[in-house]
Structure 1
Amino acid sequence: MTALLASGRDADVYALDDRRVLRRYRRGGDVTAEAAIMRYVSDHGFPVPRIYAAEGADLVMERLDGPTMMGALGDGTLDMRSGATVLADLLERLHKVRVRAATDPGTRILHLDLHPENVIMTEGGPVVIDWRNSCEGPPELDVAMTALIIATVAVLPGHQFNNHAELFLDTLMSCTRDNPLSQLEAAVHRRTADPNVTADEKAHLLEGKLLVTTAARARF
């Protein structure tokens, strides 16, 4: 490891060389299932970093060049409406990936943490990172989770994007074909149980839920 590139809520990312990074979970864990999902969606054309190795709490991946979507929104190289449109398109593309041998034909791969900090805006297009929460389920749950995360930013005092997040949310709702309302309560429960969600964020989940409800009802 040569340098610490970034630190997230539960993992650190180190540069290995000019083409690879190591992401290591600070509290341990097993990246096997996460790596398997990333490889599966990659095989179906969805943009994720290439995986070189996955063992224990360590995932060696392709090093991506470019800002996060959040960074691009912050420096003005990407406007809120365009960012929301890109995020909605990523959700739709992901939910076109069918799950092999699923008993319910509506079951899809879900990211469950797809928001602007988990999208890298590379020259070749947006690439989605951080698949630790991914699983199988209904697409509406994924949309509900993304919408709830954005809405919580909109109502969180002091967040740098809370004055713009509502526009982002409204645009996201206008672009999606999956109504999140049927899975919104489940998304709230998941966020409440997530140890990586801060106490302040959890305190504003119900406000966020109300904002998502209003935005979704205006669309569906």
Structure 2
Amino acid sequence: MKTSSLWGAPQSRYYRFLQRIQEVTESPNPALAVIGCADGKYVLPAARKGFTVWANDIDEVALFGGTKTDASGEVLMPGLASRLKSEGLEDSVEVVHGDFMENCPDRTFDAVFTSGALQYSNNLHHTLEEMVTKVGSLVRPGGLLYIDYMLPYEEKYKGRPTCPDAGWWKEYFESRDEWDVKHNRVMPPTLDRAHVEYPVDHYHQWGHLLAERVRA
């Protein structure tokens, strides 16, 4: 039985990213880490394709189920673990609850993906440089790093130290010779459809960065 994330479906570019990982990885079961996985919007599509996934989030309800309250009222959330069980994918995914800065495994992955999680308020006790460096350290030499980063378009993100403008991302990766940036695209503000915790259509501005780790 195929299940759905309460945060909606991945964008087509995510499936292109998975295909690219498969093309550059010899293993039939590439290893992917998803930072800020929530209830599995980006985890289940990878697991269905045969990836082994390390999935981390600080939100216990998103991982293991329960009730969330947002502007629409109470929302029952099955959670990532329940979705994996329903689809028979428990053996493909390691679910880890906690701060990814303190709960990272002692191994590297063929690819690492994160979307917006570095900008969330619960990460303000870390600097953005610390977080990007930690996320990057999980990528094996020859592996891929994909970061969807929020830009300070919305008022609540303006001035947030973990949500700088696009120049910060360019400077960070250009100053480190272990990375070969394949693309770093700044998109115009786009409409994101309503989802759990933000139950109205809303605008974000995103940047999409793909880099290969060329050396340790």
TM-score for both structures, normalised by structure 2: 0.34
Q: Which structure: greater helix fraction?
A: 1
Q: Which structure: greater strand fraction?
A: 2
TM-score for both structures, normalised by structure 1: 0.33
